[in-house]
């Protein structure tokens, strides 16, 4: 195709970027920066925003190019800043930061229509990449809306904008794009449903571990859980087959921590051993439920105490935790059965496990050891009495539940038990387990979630990260591993700085919007299930209603192609539909009606035929109606041409005459 | 058998040509009115459209590879929106009816203005018309449907209106729809006027006209009066245009532009020179008479009809 060229000496400015599209382009770029702000350093985003606004101001004031050295400087500064921040230009976050920077550089050099179009395309791509970091419903909607300024920019680059300068005309520019976006939603959904998914990624499996995501880590040091407890994001959603278990039974076991090094608890070696899970004696009915676990990037799954069947692709650890073979990078659905009333290894404890459950670091916390030894001397062989002693200590010893726990020194257990006496679940479970081990009772720390919000409308339990919890298990002869929640023994609770932490210690404080957020989670759940969770497997079941058991990629492709053609055809049909020639008044409407009626029997008024000639021709062709046509012609000509405004009553009479006039087909 | 097949092929070809008249580039000129319907509108992606296509493919592959459904949904939304802009692009031309055409008089080598009237209630802000390499923006306002294009000219006489390409890239500039219109309307191009040299003859029209003009009075403006004769100040006072009339100092002595007096020049130079004189005389409102090659005499007169008759005669000279 021949490329249109500006004629010499005329309208060179036609290839220049007008103020309106430039302003819209600036808005588009700002939107892109905003979409990437959550995972880029604040100073970096702020710097890019400042540069973008400065560029807008500069072009508005001077209408001049940005000097080349400045653009080159910027081009060099962006990668340097990114490498200085992240240490590498590769990976998802550094990559996103670099492309954001390059987009701003593009804005600096945008002077022509071509530049602006390229920048818009680039911006769309970067907008999409923002969704690789967060594909929640809210964020997707926000990013989708950010397409609108991009489309408006494209529209404003074309002619036909009123004003074409400054801000006038921004509304029509947005209108076109918005209308088209809404009109093509069905087509977009069809494409989304039918585009065949890849079962195996084309290149290097996305490295999800690089995403900084708050979630449970595989160790517990004092203060580690704090950030988690103030995180409102959803951890998992659970639907129960039967009734909801009571609040004090809702302990979701995640990981068992065996090893204490004086400061932090880790799973230790036991978790890695291929030892068989301890035998479980089940009493009472099983609870069956479905869990949707949102990505945690960890291997362990969460299940109600005590899971008895392992879902497909998982195995039991020796401490009855559930381990997935792959880290959970995508939302994971699994179905578990748990026994709420159970005896875990009631008869005897494997000596290797007993050793691990009594491990204590040497040279730490002498006062706590002394206290435990004191209890042991007093209680003799009565383990239950020692447990009671410890719980009494937490209840009556002046302990306070407070998320803002003071820092602890080297002997963290001693410091907590005898000095600060202030902390939250991890402090209590940690020191309780320590005391038990020091007293010779096998004990371990369990981390997981506790509580949750029951959504009565959609019947599922919503568990947030802030429901994270740590508790203890002690082994008692004859009863097996018994869950003890020492945090529950604490009587004084300070909620002042608890943020959104709702789960720790039954209930906790809730911010005013939390109830609403809990209710609205239904929508997020729907989104996670239907859209985010629409994978190759679900797609292959798409044609179930049509009797096709398994849809192949080929079938999907064919269906997509067929539907695209049908949609295009429909669209073309809709586009061709035009309102009939709109008559300007009743008289013209009646005349049109007459002409249509005559056209049906084969007498069409020519484009160049005046009304008088037309009536004359009709009269000649329809001798039977000559008289009527004569009077109609006289009336029409008089009404139309004798005065500028036809008298209404006579016009009505004409309309009536036309209505009663039925031309008969000429018999030849 | 063979003959039947041949006939059928001919009819099929004929049918195709009938169905899609624009396929043949040298299609027969048509008469007004011309309506652009679906059979004659073509549409292809522009360079920017191809670029966006590549971009969409990249986005699609990225979203699929990362198994990110939100990104895939966004890609689908953008793709569907940009693809459906094709329909809007096409619709901007569809149903457009060229109703009438009116060419102004113009001289050779200048661009000739042609007024087009489209019969259409819609605004078509993105319409471009190209007759040669130059795209002329011809936005149509709602309910007006009038626009003007300029036609390049290079020879005097009757010329056929070149094939017009009506095109549009609205709304996003990603697709270009276009349609060809070939009309059998003809335009008259006057010869190129030569103003520079005085005639070899003694009676230079400039001198005669300059010496003979005396202001005589004012009269109402009539179409065709030279603009320079309009008395602007008086017109402003009287609410309508007035023209200065000049007393013909020597009414019996109109200027005489004689073909035969220009011996020694080639044919085209003679025509150009005569044209130049006629223009000057007309601008000065001085009567003239034109003596043609075969001795026919036109005039004397100084009005617009005479002016156009003379120029037409000159333009139509073989």
* pLDDT value at residue A165: 56
Helices (H) and strands (E) in chain B, counts: 7, 17
Note whether A667 contacts B: Cβ–Cβ < 8 A. Answer: no
Answer whether B59 sits within 8 Å of A124, measured CB to CB: yes
pLDDT at A302 over 80: yes
The strand pairing partners of B248, in sequence order, are B213
Average pLDDT over residues A139-163: 87
CA distances from A601 to A11, A56, A631 (A): 54, 65, 20
Interface of A with B in 505-524 (CB under 8 A): none
Note whether A576 contacts B: Cβ–Cβ < 8 A. Answer: yes
pLDDT at A585 over 50: yes
Average pLDDT over residues B185-204: 67
A581 min Cα distance to partner chain B (Å):
9
Average pLDDT of the residues of chain A: 82
Q: A144: pLDDT confidence band, cut at 50, 70 and 90?
A: very high
Q: Name the burial class of residue B47, with classes exposed (0-12), middle (13-18) and buried (19+) by CB atoms within 10 angstroms of its CB.
A: middle
Average pLDDT over residues A130-152: 91
Note whether A534 contacts B: Cβ–Cβ < 8 A. Answer: yes
- Asked if residue A424 lies in contact with residue A504, where contact means CB atoms within 8 angstroms, the answer is yes
Would residue A469 show up in a list of annotated catalytic residues for this protein? yes
Q: Name the burial class of residue B12, with classes exposed (0-12), middle (13-18) and buried (19+) by CB atoms within 10 angstroms of its CB.
A: exposed
From the candidates A121, A561, A605, which should be mutated to test the interface with B, based on the most B CB atoms within 10 A? Answer: A121
Bridge pairing between strands A303-304 and A251-257: antiparallel
Would residue A374 show up in a list of annotated catalytic residues for this protein? no
Which of B295, B316, B4, B78 lies closest to B186, judged by CA?
Answer: B316
* pLDDT value at residue A166: 59
* pLDDT value at residue A494: 62
Answer whether B170 sits within 8 Å of A144, measured CB to CB: no
- Asked if residue B265 lies in contact with residue B257, where contact means CB atoms within 8 angstroms, the answer is no
Q: Which residue of B has its CA nearest to A138?
A: B70
* pLDDT value at residue A527: 86
Nearest to B173 among A3, A117, A576 (CB): A117
Q: A309: pLDDT confidence band, cut at 50, 70 and 90?
A: confident
Instruction: For tokens 């009237």, name the residue.
Output: B117
Q: B215: pLDDT confidence band, cut at 50, 70 and 90?
A: low
* pLDDT value at residue A323: 86
Q: A11: pLDDT confidence band, cut at 50, 70 and 90?
A: very low
Q: B73: pLDDT confidence band, cut at 50, 70 and 90?
A: very high
Q: Name the burial class of residue A510, with classes exposed (0-12), middle (13-18) and buried (19+) by CB atoms within 10 angstroms of its CB.
A: middle
Q: A579: pLDDT confidence band, cut at 50, 70 and 90?
A: low
pLDDT at B2 over 70: no
Answer whether A131 sits within 8 Å of B70, measured CB to CB: yes
Bridge pairing between strands B255-258 and B288-291: parallel
B59 min Cα distance to partner chain A (Å):
6
Query: Using N-to-C axis directions, what is the helix angle for A611-621 and A626-641, rounded to 10°?
Result: 170
Catalytic residue, chosen from A383, A389, A467, A485, is: A485
Top-confidence residue, A243 or B258: A243
pLDDT at B8 over 70: no
- Asked if residue A402 lies in contact with residue A426, where contact means CB atoms within 8 angstroms, the answer is no
Compute the distance between CA of residue A527 and CA of residue A524 in angstroms, rounded to an integer.
5
- Asked if residue A200 lies in contact with residue B77, where contact means CB atoms within 8 angstroms, the answer is no
Q: Which residue of A has its CA nearest to B167?
A: A4
Query: Using N-to-C axis directions, what is the helix angle for B267-283 and B304-316, rounded to 10°?
Result: 170
Identify all chain A residues contacting B123, using CB atoms and an 8 Å cutoff.
160
* pLDDT value at residue A289: 92
Answer whether A159 sits within 8 Å of B170, measured CB to CB: yes
Instruction: For tokens 């006489």, name the residue.
Output: B157
pLDDT in tens, A416-425: 999 888 888 8
From the candidates A120, A161, A575, which should be mutated to test the interface with B, based on the most B CB atoms within 10 A? Answer: A575
* pLDDT value at residue A35: 94
Top-confidence residue, A51 or B207: A51
Compute the distance between CA of residue B120 and CA of residue A581 in angstroms, rounded to an integer.
9
How much of chain A exceeds pLDDT 70, in percent?
Answer: 90
Answer whether A201 sits within 8 Å of B76, measured CB to CB: no
B68 min Cα distance to partner chain A (Å):
7
Note whether A128 contacts B: Cβ–Cβ < 8 A. Answer: yes
pLDDT at B101 over 80: yes
* pLDDT value at residue B211: 35
pLDDT at B274 over 50: yes
The strand pairing partners of B220, in sequence order, are B242
For A468, the enclosing helix (H) or strand (E) is strand A468-476
Note whether A647 contacts B: Cβ–Cβ < 8 A. Answer: no
Answer whether B88 sits within 8 Å of A180, measured CB to CB: yes
Answer whether B76 sits within 8 Å of A188, measured CB to CB: yes
Identify all chain A residues contacting B73, using CB atoms and an 8 Å cutoff.
140, 144, 188, 192, 531
* pLDDT value at residue A212: 40
Most confidently modeled range among A108-112, A293-297, A328-332, B284-288: A108-112
Quote the Cα angle for B123-B129-B132, to 5°: 175
Compute the distance between CA of residue B281 and CA of residue A130 in angstroms, rounded to an integer.
74
Answer whether A206 sits within 8 Å of B78, measured CB to CB: no
Answer whether B73 sits within 8 Å of A192, measured CB to CB: yes
Would residue A544 show up in a list of annotated catalytic residues for this protein? no
Answer whether A121 sits within 8 Å of B52, measured CB to CB: yes
Compute the distance between CA of residue A535 and CA of residue A537 in angstroms, rounded to an integer.
5
pLDDT at B251 over 60: no
Q: Name the burial class of residue A362, with classes exposed (0-12), middle (13-18) and buried (19+) by CB atoms within 10 angstroms of its CB.
A: exposed
When mean pLDDT is compared across A323-332, A610-619, B147-156, B234-243, the lowest value belongs to B234-243
- Asked if residue B300 lies in contact with residue B250, where contact means CB atoms within 8 angstroms, the answer is no
Nearest to A197 among B44, B64, B135 (CB): B64
Query: Hey, what are B267's tokens?
Result: 């044919």
A653 min Cα distance to partner chain B (Å):
29
A142 min Cα distance to partner chain B (Å):
11
pLDDT at A105 over 90: yes
* pLDDT value at residue A9: 35
When mean pLDDT is compared across A9-23, B103-117, B135-149, the lowest value belongs to A9-23
pLDDT at A304 over 80: yes
- Asked if residue B43 lies in contact with residue B90, where contact means CB atoms within 8 angstroms, the answer is yes
Answer whether A140 sits within 8 Å of B70, measured CB to CB: yes
Nearest to B133 among A2, A129, A143 (CB): A2
Nearest to A135 among B69, B88, B169 (CB): B69
When mean pLDDT is compared across A519-533, B50-64, B242-256, the lowest value belongs to B242-256
Interface of A with B in 329-388 (CB under 8 A): 330
pLDDT at A199 over 90: no
Q: A615: pLDDT confidence band, cut at 50, 70 and 90?
A: confident
Answer whether B80 sits within 8 Å of A201, measured CB to CB: no
Identify all chain B residues contacting A35, using CB atoms and an 8 Å cutoff.
none
Query: Hey, what are A105's tokens?
Result: 């550089």
Identify all chain B residues contacting A143, using CB atoms and an 8 Å cutoff.
70, 74
Q: B27: pLDDT confidence band, cut at 50, 70 and 90?
A: low
Query: Hey, what are A68's tokens?
Result: 């080349």
Identify all chain A residues contacting B83, using CB atoms and an 8 Å cutoff.
184, 187
How much of chain A exceeds pLDDT 90, in percent?
Answer: 19
Residue A11: phi, psi to the nearest 5?
A: 45, 50
- Asked if residue B80 lies in contact with residue A188, where contact means CB atoms within 8 angstroms, the answer is yes
Average pLDDT of the residues of chain B: 77
Query: Hey, what are A259's tokens?
Result: 């090893």
Note whether A580 contacts B: Cβ–Cβ < 8 A. Answer: no
Note whether A9 contacts B: Cβ–Cβ < 8 A. Answer: no
B159 min Cα distance to partner chain A (Å):
23
Compute the distance between CA of residue A116 and CA of residue A107 in angstroms, rounded to an integer.
8
A552 min Cα distance to partner chain B (Å):
16
pLDDT at A641 over 50: yes
Most confidently modeled range among A152-166, A341-355, B50-64: B50-64
Q: B311: pLDDT confidence band, cut at 50, 70 and 90?
A: confident
Answer whether B94 sits within 8 Å of A197, measured CB to CB: no
Q: For chains A and B, what is the number of CB pairs under 8 angstroms? A: 172
* pLDDT value at residue A516: 79
* pLDDT value at residue A374: 92
A27 min Cα distance to partner chain B (Å):
17
A192 min Cα distance to partner chain B (Å):
6
pLDDT at A468 over 70: yes
Answer whether A184 sits within 8 Å of B84, measured CB to CB: yes
Top-confidence residue, A582 or A3: A582
pLDDT in tens, A497-548: 443 333 444 444 456 677 777 778 888 888 887 888 787 778 888 888 887 7
């Amino acid at each position: 195709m021949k490329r249109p060229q500006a004629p010499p000496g005329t309208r060179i400015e036609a290839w220049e970027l007008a103020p309106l599209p430039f302003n819209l382009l600036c808005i588009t770029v700002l939107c892109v920066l905003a979409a990437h702000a959550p995972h880029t350093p604040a100073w970096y985003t702020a710097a890019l925003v400042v540069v973008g606004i400065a560029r807008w101001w500069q072009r508005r004031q001077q209408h001049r190019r940005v000097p080349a050295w400045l653009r080159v400087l910027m081009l060099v500064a962006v990668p340097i800043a990114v490498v200085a921040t992240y240490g590498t230009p590769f990976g998802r976050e550094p990559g996103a930061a670099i492309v954001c920077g390059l987009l701003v550089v593009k804005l600096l050099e945008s002077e022509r229509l071509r530049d602006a179009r390229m920048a818009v395309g680039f911006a769309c791509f970067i907008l999409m990449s923002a969704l690789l970091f967060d594909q929640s419903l809210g964020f997707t909607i926000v990013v989708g809306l950010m397409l609108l300024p991009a489309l408006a920019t494209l529209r404003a680059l074309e002619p036909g904008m009123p004003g074409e300068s400054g801000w006038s005309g921004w509304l029509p520019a947005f209108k076109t794009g918005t209308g088209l976006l809404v009109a093509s939603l069905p087509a977009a959904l069809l494409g989304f449903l039918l585009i065949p998914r890849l079962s195996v990624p084309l290149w290097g499996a996305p490295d999800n571990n690089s995403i900084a995501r708050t979630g449970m880590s595989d160790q517990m040091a004092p203060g580690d859980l704090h950030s988690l407890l103030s995180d409102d994001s959803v951890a998992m959603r659970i639907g129960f087959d039967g009734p909801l278990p009571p609040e004090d039974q809702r302990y979701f076991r995640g990981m068992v921590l065996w090893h204490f090094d004086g400061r932090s608890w880790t799973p230790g070696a036991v978790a890695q051993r291929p030892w068989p899970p301890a035998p479980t004696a089940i009493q009472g009915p099983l609870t069956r439920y479905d869990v949707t676990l949102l990505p945690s990037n960890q291997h362990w799954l969460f299940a109600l105490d005590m899971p008895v069947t392992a879902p497909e692709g998982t195995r039991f650890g020796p401490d009855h935790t559930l381990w997935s073979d792959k880290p959970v990078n995508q939302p994971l659905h699994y179905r578990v059965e748990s026994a709420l009333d159970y005896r875990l290894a009631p008869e005897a404890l494997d000596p290797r496990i007993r050793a691990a459950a009594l491990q204590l670091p040497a040279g730490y916390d002498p006062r706590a050891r002394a206290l435990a030894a004191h209890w042991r001397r007093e209680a003799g062989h009565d383990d239950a009495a020692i447990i009671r002693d410890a719980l009494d200590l937490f209840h009556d010893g002046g302990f306070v539940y407070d998320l803002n726990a003071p820092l602890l020194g080297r002997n963290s257990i001693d410091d907590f038990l005898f000095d600060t006496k202030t902390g939250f679940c991890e402090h209590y479970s940690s020191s309780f387990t320590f005391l038990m081990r020091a007293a010779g009772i096998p004990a371990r720390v369990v981390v997981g979630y506790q509580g949750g919000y029951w959504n009565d409308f959609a019947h599922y339990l919503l568990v947030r990260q802030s429901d994270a919890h740590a508790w203890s298990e002690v082994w008692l002869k004859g009863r097996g591993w018994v869950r003890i929640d020492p945090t529950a023994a604490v009587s004084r609770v300070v909620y002042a700085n608890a943020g959104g932490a709702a789960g720790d210690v039954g209930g906790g404080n809730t911010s005013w919007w939390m109830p609403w957020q809990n209710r609205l989670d239904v929508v997020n759940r729907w989104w996670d299930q239907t859209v985010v969770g629409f994978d190759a497997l679900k797609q292959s079941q798409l044609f179930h209603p049509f009797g096709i058991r398994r849809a192949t990629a080929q079938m999907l492709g064919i269906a997509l192609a067929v539907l695209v053609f049908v949609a295009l055809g429909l669209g073309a049909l809709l586009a061709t539909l035009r309102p009939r020639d709109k008559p300007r008044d009743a008289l013209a409407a009646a005349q049109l009606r007459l002409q249509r009626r005559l056209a049906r029997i084969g007498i069409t008024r020519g484009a160049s035929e005046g009304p008088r000639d037309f009536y004359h021709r009709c009269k000649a062709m329809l001798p039977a109606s000559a008289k009527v046509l004569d009077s109609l012609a006289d009336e029409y000509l008089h009404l139309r041409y004798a005065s500028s405004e036809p008298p209404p009553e006579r016009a009505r009479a004409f309309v009536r005459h036309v209505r009663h006039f039925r031309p008969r087909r000429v018999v030849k | 058998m063979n003959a039947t097949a041949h006939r059928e092929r001919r009819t099929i070809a004929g049918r195709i040509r009938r169905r899609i008249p624009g396929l043949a580039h040298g299609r027969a000129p048509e008469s007004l009115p011309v309506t652009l319907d679906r059979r004659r509108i073509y549409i292809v992606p522009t360079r920017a459209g191809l670029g966006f296509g590549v971009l969409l493919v990249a986005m699609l592959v990225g979203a699929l590879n990362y198994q990110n459904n939100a990104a895939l949904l966004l890609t689908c939304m953008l793709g569907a929106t940009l693809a459906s802009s094709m329909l809007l692009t096409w619709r901007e031309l569809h149903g457009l009816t060229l109703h009438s055409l009116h060419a102004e008089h113009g001289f050779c080598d200048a661009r000739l203005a042609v007024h087009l009237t489209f019969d259409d209630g819609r605004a078509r802000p993105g319409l471009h018309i190209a007759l040669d390499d130059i795209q002329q923006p011809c936005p149509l306002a709602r309910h007006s449907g009038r626009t003007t294009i300029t036609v390049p000219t290079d020879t005097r006489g009757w010329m056929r209106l070149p094939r017009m390409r009506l095109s549009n890239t609205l709304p996003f500039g990603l697709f270009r729809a276009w349609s060809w219109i070939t009309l059998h309307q003809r335009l008259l191009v006057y010869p190129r006027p030569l103003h520079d040299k005085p005639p070899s003859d003694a009676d230079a029209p400039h001198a005669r006209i300059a010496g003979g003009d005396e202001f005589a009075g004012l009269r109402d403006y009539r179409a065709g009066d030279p603009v320079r004769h309009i008395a602007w100040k008086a017109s402003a006072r009287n609410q309508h245009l007035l023209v200065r009339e000049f007393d013909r100092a020597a009414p019996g002595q109109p200027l005489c532009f004689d073909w035969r007096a220009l011996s020694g020049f080639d044919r085209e130079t003679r025509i150009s020179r005569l044209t130049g004189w006629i223009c000057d005389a007309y601008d000065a409102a001085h009567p003239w008479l034109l003596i043609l090659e075969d001795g026919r005499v036109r005039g004397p007169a100084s009005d617009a009809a005479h002016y156009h008759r003379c120029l037409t005669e000159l333009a139509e000279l073989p």
